[in-house]
Chain A
Amino acid sequence: QKEVEQNSGPLSVPEGAIASLNCTYSDRGSQSFFWYRQYSGKSPELIMFIYSNGDKEDGRFTAQLNKASQYVSLLIRDSQPSDSATYLCAVPEAAGNKLTFGGGTRVLVKP
């Protein structure tokens, strides 16, 4: 059984700052990773996918993967109040999209 661990937060950051979220996983064979954003009362929304070591940037979001240390992180640059949400890390099965989720990190961006 895969395990995916996240700090539940809340992670409080001032507007304009960088929010840094971490996720660790147990299965050394995991090859790819997803980040989902979930606003309160809403369903998870896919925001990032990463499968190779290093950084992947998409707008204000950067995903970082370190397979040797078995962690993946998400950076949110120039944080906005609209970024306040829970961010879920997810690890898929080897060849598909069946996902094991972490518990999520709640982010609060204060104006």
Chain B
Amino acid sequence: EAGVAQSPRYKIIEKRQSVAFWCNPISGHATLYWYQQILGQGPKLLIQFQNNGVVDDSQLPKDRFSAERLKGVDSTLKIQPAKLEDSAVYLCASSSDRVRGAFFGQGTRLTVV
């Protein structure tokens, strides 16, 4: 079974630029999450999708971050404009009602300079 796929693996941008990350969850997983992990901290949930609907985006900085999951499969997370404090690893995870836990992709390491 293929795992969660994310791209790109690394991205370096200047502040005020925009960036987008892509995620393809494990086949059949209805729930998809985007987490932000700052160096030395645990992952923090940004947004949760159930199929193509948003379940929880309470911690998403909506003035600059947006996410979508069209057709209930792939998802994109966008930051516009980026700030220095957005430098982090952005992790996508997916889960299923049939299996305990969430399963993570390799992440995208974003550096904002």
A residues touching B (Cβ–Cβ < 8 Å)? 4, 6, 8, 32, 34, 42-46, 49, 88, 90, 96-104
A44 touches B104 (CB 8 A): yes
A100 touches B104 (CB 8 A): no
Interface size on B, residues (CB 8 A): 21
Report B-chain residues with C-beta under 8 Å of the C-beta of A98.
31, 33, 45, 48, 55-56, 102
Report B-chain residues with C-beta under 8 Å of the C-beta of A42.
106
Q: Tell me the minimal C-beta distance from B32 to chain A in angstroms.
A: 11
Q: Which residue of A lies closest to B99 (CB)?
A: A97
B42 touches A103 (CB 8 A): yes
Q: Which residue of A lies closest to B109 (CB)?
A: A41
Q: Is B91 an interface residue (CB 8 A)?
A: yes
Q: Tell me the minimal C-beta distance from A74 to chain B in angstroms.
A: 15
Q: Tell me the minimal C-beta distance from A50 to chain B in angstroms.
A: 10
